[in-house]
A and B are shown apart, each in its own frame.
Chain A
Amino acid sequence: MKIYNGGPIFLGILVFLAIALFPFYNNFGKVNAKPEPKVDTPAIQEYEKANGKKECIESKEWMRGEHMQILNQWRDSVVRDYNRTYKSNSHPNAAPFNMSLQSGCMKCHSNKKKFCDECHNYLSVKPYCWDCHIQPEEKEEVKS
């Protein structure tokens, strides 16, 4: 097979390969850690002592996918309807939760860096909530 104008064509193929194979060689020889959100904050331990188990406002699997949506609903519910109590669907026996980002989610998940950020950094999710809402203070992070 005779190739005409081989120079620019092979250069083009090289560029194509460099782009198409980028993820492979970029990651070559690296060890990939997966995120492990920690749920052992004092508030959660207290909750566990009082209720006999660790639980979120809904099941863990559901929270993984839907937590941003529920925050959005909470926001509307509080700001528009002045409704601040949330009754869990999957934990019918649990006491109503306080619909709040700062004093609801973040009271239990006071370890934002080891919890929310653990996942979010993995996928470069950057919620803009903290432009206004106050993040929990994390003393142990300051020391290390």
Chain B
Amino acid sequence: MTAIISFIAVLLLVAIGYVGGSAGPSVRFLFGVVIPYAAFIFFVGGLIARIMKWASSPVPFNIVTTTGQQKTLPWIKHSKIESPYSAFGVVIRMALEILAFRSLFRNLKTQLHEGGRVAYGEAKWLWMAGLAFHYSFAIILFRHLRFFIEKVPVAVQMTDMLDSFLQIGAPLLYATDVVLLGAVTYLFIRRVAIPQVRYISLAADYFPLFLIFGIGATGVLMRYFTKTDIISVKMLAMGLISFKPVVPDTIGAMFFVHLFLLSVLFAYFPLSKLVHMGGVFLSPTRNLPNNSRAVRHVNPWNYPVHVHTYEEYENDFRDKMKEAGLPVEKE
């Protein structure tokens, strides 16, 4: 049900983008310039606001989670990355987490066997599809820089060339287009096909999947099927980034669907689970060193407690203590 609602929502967005793109010049200006600017400002501002909110929440305990031997006695082998002790170890651990999705790699499948025996099996598909999805998304975004830089840098050209090395058709097929749409499709099927996962899936899980699929699909349609004048698209893109916006009228409506879905994605980003892009860096279970035996982690919530020391106590009661024959430290 939630999946169907999200699907209809994205279809509606496609329709809005299409109608906007087919309308007169002022509406096209709204969809080609005003909405993208607004969405971009909201994306950058919103993401920073979310990060500041996280940064203002204290971490009361050292809650690092580890999967390796803590640094202890010199003759016990220390697992430097799984249970990092130094800042360097933490950096390596975070890099592996962000670039290789290490904790997702440990994903397990729990099965109940006959006689109530529980067994854990490998479940690497989620990790693989997640990695494939994120990397193809990043590569596509990087390739899109050709619309935003006048003299396209060599790095972008090389990526373009490697991505189309299969030399299928004209214009050449990009491998990442196939991988992106395939991986998003898998991630969706996983959510509906596995009962436990379907049970915990919300509209907020389906909606971004459909939205990203929509962006990819409209891009693919534009490149291989319906075509649009992409020379004019570059003029629009360059106009946006140099604050001299133009909306050439040779751009087809499909581009406006692409751009509108993208604007929605950007605006939705800081409000949704997609902020994990920034959040992953701030996960205390990953980014703290496991040095709680060596370094005292002071809870920032601690308020100043009035402590009455023994010395003060003795000062208060010295006479009475002497009378009662109790030993005192100072005469």
CB <8 Å contact, B234 and A3? no
Instruction: Answer yes or no: A93 CB below 8 A from chain B CBs.
Output: no
Please tell me the number of chain B residues within 8 Å of chain A, measured between CB atoms: 41
**A33, A35, A64, A124: which contacts B152 (Cβ < 8 A)?**
A124
Please tell me the number of chain A residues within 8 Å of chain B, measured between CB atoms: 38
Which residues of A (54-75) have their CB < 8 Å from a CB of B? 61, 64-66, 68-69, 71-72
Q: How far is the CA of A35 from the CA of B234 in the complex (A)?
A: 11
CB <8 Å contact, B241 and A1? no
Residue in chain B with minimal CB distance to A25 = B241
Task: Known A4-B56, A23-B148, A32-B238; judge A128-B167 contact (CB<8 A).
Answer: yes
CB <8 Å contact, A69 and B170? yes
Majority secondary structure of chain B interface residues (helix, strand, loop or mixed): helix
Instruction: Answer yes or no: A12 CB below 8 A from chain B CBs.
Output: yes
CB <8 Å contact, A4 and B231? no
Instruction: Answer yes or no: B325 CB below 8 A from chain A CBs.
Output: no
**B56, B228, B230: which contacts A3 (Cβ < 8 A)?**
B56
Instruction: Answer yes or no: A6 CB below 8 A from chain B CBs.
Output: yes
Residue in chain A with minimal CB distance to B48 = A13
Task: Known A2-B56, A119-B231; judge A61-B250 contact (CB<8 A).
Answer: yes
Instruction: Answer yes or no: B139 CB below 8 A from chain A CBs.
Output: no
**A3, A27, A61: which contacts B55 (Cβ < 8 A)?**
A3
Per CB-CB distance, the 4 closest pairs between chain A and chain B, nearest first, are A65-B227, A124-B152, A23-B148, A68-B170
B contact residues vs A (CB 8 Å cutoff): 43-44, 47-48, 51-52, 55-59, 145-150, 152, 156-157, 160-161, 167, 169-171, 227-231, 234-235, 238, 241-242, 250, 278, 281-282, 300
Of the A-B pairs whose beta carbons lie under 8 Å apart in the complex, a sample of 14, sorted by A's number, is A2-B56, A9-B282, A13-B51, A16-B278, A23-B145, A26-B149, A27-B242, A30-B150, A32-B150, A34-B235, A64-B229, A65-B227, A72-B170, A126-B161
